[in-house]
Amino acid sequence: MEVHTRGIVTMSANSNWIRRSAAAVVALAAVGALSACSDGQTENASSGTDAQEAVTGGREAVSGGQEPDALTSGGGNGAACTNVKASLGSTTPSSGGSQMRVQLVFVNQGARACVLRGFPGVQLRSADGTTWDLRRSSEEVESVTLAPGGGTSAALTTSSADNATGWHVSTVLVTPPNTTSTTEFNWTHGPVHLQKDATRPATFVGPVG
């Protein structure tokens, strides 16, 4: 009877050990599953980091067009033109003769293609020191891509006047769009009506393109 009792105890102990072992196996399997999930999440997070680095790298590549050498030579990848030569081109009188269009020419002197956009700065000056910063026209602005040595132009429209009543301009200062390089030229196109305080003067400058 005692042996039988011990047998029951022994079997009970074995049964408990089996249950504990099974529970341990299940727990280990669960840990393995969690570990696998955790590894997968880490890999995805790493992929997200790689994607973010790729985006950052793309931004750095874009901003690479603004390196010092690019800033002095025009730069590629849609970089704004910064090394631009301005000059005065041909003149065309209006049909009525009351206005005249002077072509302002801009040439990319950089080693790379670049983009020129906007209005040039134009100031008229007389011999007595009077200055007139011209207003911009209402024309739409377009971006112009210039190859090295390539050029574009903008129109300077003036209101012609006679010698008796007109303002005698001696020089014109021209600054290419988005630059600070100003060139002064002698004015040889006669007097204009001085309308610097007018809301809509007949002398104005248009955009490049």
Mind listing the pLDDT tens digit for each residue in 75-97?
A: 345 899 999 999 999 999 876 67
Beta carbons of 169 and 74 less than 8 angstroms apart:
no
Residues in CB range of 110: below 8 A, 6 or more apart = 72, 73, 74, 75, 81, 82, 83, 148
Tell me the C-alpha distance between 106 and 206, whole Å: 13
Select, from the ranges 17-26, 93-102, 183-192, the one with the highest average predicted confidence (pLDDT). Answer: 183-192
Query: Average pLDDT of 104-108?
Result: 98
200 with 148, same domain?
yes
Q: Whose CA is closest to 179, among 121, 131, 136?
A: 121
Tell me if 162 is assigned to some domain. Answer: yes
30 with 120, same domain?
no
34 with 110, same domain?
no
Tell me if 78 is assigned to some domain. Answer: no
Tell me the C-alpha distance between 88 and 120, whole Å: 13
Q: What are the tens digits of pLDDT across the range 21-49? A: 444 434 434 444 333 333 333 333 333 32
> Chain centroid to CA 124: how far?
31
97 with 164, same domain?
yes
140 with 99, same domain?
yes
Select, from the ranges 42-46, 57-61, 139-143, the one with the highest average predicted confidence (pLDDT). Answer: 139-143
Tell me if 164 is assigned to some domain. Answer: yes
Residue 74: left if φ>0, alpha if ψ -120 to 50, beta else—which one?
A: left
CATH code: domain of residue 192:
2.60.40
Q: In this structure, are strands 121-126 and 131-133 parallel, antiparallel, or unpaired?
A: antiparallel
Instruction: Indicate yes or no: pTM above 0.75.
Output: no
